[in-house]
Amino acid sequence: MLTPSAMPRPALRHETVLLAVVLLEWLCFHALGPRFGTLENSFDLLRHSAEIGLLALAMTPVILTGGIDLSVGSLLGLCAVLYGKLWRDAGLDPGAAAGCTLALGALAGGLNAALIAGLRLPPLIVTLGTYSLFRGLAEAITRGADTFTNFPASFLFLGQERWLGLPSQAWLFAAVAAAVWLLVHRTTFGRACRAHGFAPEGARHAGLPAGRQLAAVYMLSGLIAALAAVIYTARLGQARADAGTGYELLAITAVVLGGTSIFGGRGTVHGTLLGVAALAILNNGLVHARQPREVAGLLTGALLLLALAAGTAPRLGTAWRARRAPHPSPS
């Protein structure tokens, strides 16, 4: 093991390494697949990564507080089903149904919040429970079989068409990304999230409103998951209980690839965005390179290790960090 002082100073920020990886990927696939770089394909890339991207954005502040939200994928499924219910069975118009779905998503996030911030239960267990609960509710509501479809074109516009030259959901995604970036990097809220992630007791002693803080973060996560559900429904033109299965892991992958420490405190929103981009380009590009899906999986694994090894190992070296966790710990 490296002793703290023997480790080199960080040569490059993790985000820089990741940016290089993203560019490299782009060039590589551009060379391999003649149609990879087309505008068409770039737009599709954007559309395909919107939902995972949103979930990853939602997850970033959560992980910064030292928590985790395993329930986002299931909540996406539940919200998709709720949206279908509200529109088809309750007869709301698509806009109103979307509004209600967002509120319900925040409410569901509120359940996580109540258990984590109110009862001070560990986030991992709570969201493991709601991971199952939300998916289960989605299945119970539809009995597993019901599919909502035939949404009006005005709603599908949101997922399938372009607005001002870009896929419509790209605008929403950009707005959420900007909002989360500002929240995390430019407000006292984000600062307090980090403080809590590094040392919950220390943050409490500083008089930070730990409970409210955590509650807000998990409710925000619910809200964004609901938004992702609406976009997902609009993109596929259908809502079903299995929507978003396994997305939580993809979102977490993007976040940790983006350099956020799973133990909290450390991480950036732009890192997360780069992480999302790296994974999305990989998945899309390999189709253009005519490689089977499994290769995407294998390369995801390799990419995770390489990017982190390049970016994290030197950063672990700052002695004060290593002093707290000289054996490996996520950075």
Partner 1 sequence: MKAWPRELSVGLALAALLGALAVFAPGFFAGPPLLSLAAREAPVLLVACGAAMVIVCRQIDISSGSQFAVVSVAAGLLAAEGWPPAAVAAAALVLGTTLGALNGLLVAGLGLPSIVVTLATMVTWREGLRWWRQGAFVNLPDGLQWLGLDQTAGQWTLIAAALGLFTLLAIASRHLAAGRHLYAVGSDAEAARLAGIRPAAVTFGAFTLAGALTALAALMNVIQSPQVDPKSGTGLELKAIAAVVVGGVAIAGGRGRLAGVLLGLLLLATVAPALTHLRIEAHWEKAIQGAIILLAVAAERARGRPA
Partner 2 sequence: MSAPLLELRRLTKSFGGARALRGVDFDLRAGEVHALLGENGAGKSTLIRIITGAHRPDGGTVAVDGRPAGPLDPRGAHQLGIACIYQQPALFPDLSIAENLALRLETGGSLRRVDWPARHRRATALLERVGARLDPHREVRDLSMPEQQLVEIACALGAGARIVVMDEPTAALTQAEQTRLHGVVRELRAQGTGVIYITHRLEEIFVLADRVTVLRDGESVGTRPAADLTEPELIRLMVGREVAQPYPPAERPPGGAVLRLRRLGRRDSGVHDVSLDLHAGEILGLAGLVGAGRTELARILFGLTPADAGTIELLGRTVRPRSPREAVEMGLAYVPEDRRRHGVILDLPLAHNASLASHRRLFPGGWLRPAAERRFTEDFIRDLGIRGGGPFAPAGSLSGGNQQKVALARWLATGPRVLILDEPTQGVDIGAKAEIHRLVRRLAGEGLAVLLISSDLPEVIGMSDRIGVMRGGTLTAVLPRDATPDTVMAAALGRATEAAR
Partner 3 sequence: GRAPDSARDAAGGGKRLTVALLPKSKGNAYFISCRAGAEKAARALGVDLLFDGPTDTDPAKQNEIIENWINLGVDVIAAACENREGISTALRKAQARGIKVITYDADALPDARAFFVNQATPEGIGHTLMDEAARLTNAEGEFAVILSTLTASNMQEWLKHIRARLAEKYPRMKLVAVRPCDDQKDKAQTEATTLLSAHPGLRLLMNICSPAVPGAAEAVKQAGKAVRVKVIGLGLPSENRRYVKDGVTDSVILWKTEDLGALAVEAAVALAKGTLQPGATSFRTATGATYEVKGDQILLGQPFIFNRDNIDQFNF
Phi, psi of 306 (to 5 degrees): -65, -45
The binding track of 209-248 with respect to partner 1, each residue x by CB under 8 A or -, is ----------------------------------------
Nearest CA to 50 among 217, 182, 223, 171?
171
Distance of CA 326 to the CA centre of its chain: 29
| 232 interface partner picked from ligand ATP, partner 1, partner 2, none, CB below 5 to 8 A per type | none
Nearer to ligand ATP, 39 or 320 (CB): 320
The binding track of 41-80 with respect to partner 3, each residue x by CB under 8 A or -, is x--x--xx--x-----------------------------
Pairing mode of beta strands 148-149, 162-163 = unpaired
316: contact with partner 1 by CB under 8 A? yes
Q: What is the largest CA-CA distance in the chain?
A: 66
Rule CB under 8 A: which of 146-205 touch partner 2? 186-189, 191-192, 194-195, 198-199, 201-205
4: contact with partner 2 by CB under 8 A? yes
CA-to-CA distance for 331 and 326, rounded, in angstroms? 11
Coil, strand or helix at 55 = helix
Let me know: does 231 contact 146? Beta carbons within 8 Å. Answer: no
CA-to-CA distance for 6 and 193, rounded, in angstroms? 31
328: contact with partner 1 by CB under 8 A? yes
> How many residues are there in the chain?
331
Radius of gyration of the CA atoms of the chain, in A: 20
Let me know: does 12 contact 327? Beta carbons within 8 Å. Answer: no
Rule CB under 8 A: which of 268-307 touch partner 1? 292-298, 300-302, 304-305
323: contact with ligand ATP by CB under 6 A? yes
143: contact with partner 1 by CB under 8 A? yes
Rule CB under 8 A: which of 16-55 touch partner 1? none
Nearest CA to 142 among 93, 89, 71, 73?
89
Rule CB under 6 A: which of 263-322 touch ligand ATP? 319-320
Q: Which residues bind ligand ATP (CB under 6 A)?
A: 319-320, 323
Q: Which residues bind partner 3 (CB under 8 A)?
A: 33-38, 40-41, 44, 47-48, 51, 139, 142-145, 147, 149-150, 156, 160, 232, 235-238, 240-246, 283-284, 287-288, 290, 292-294, 297
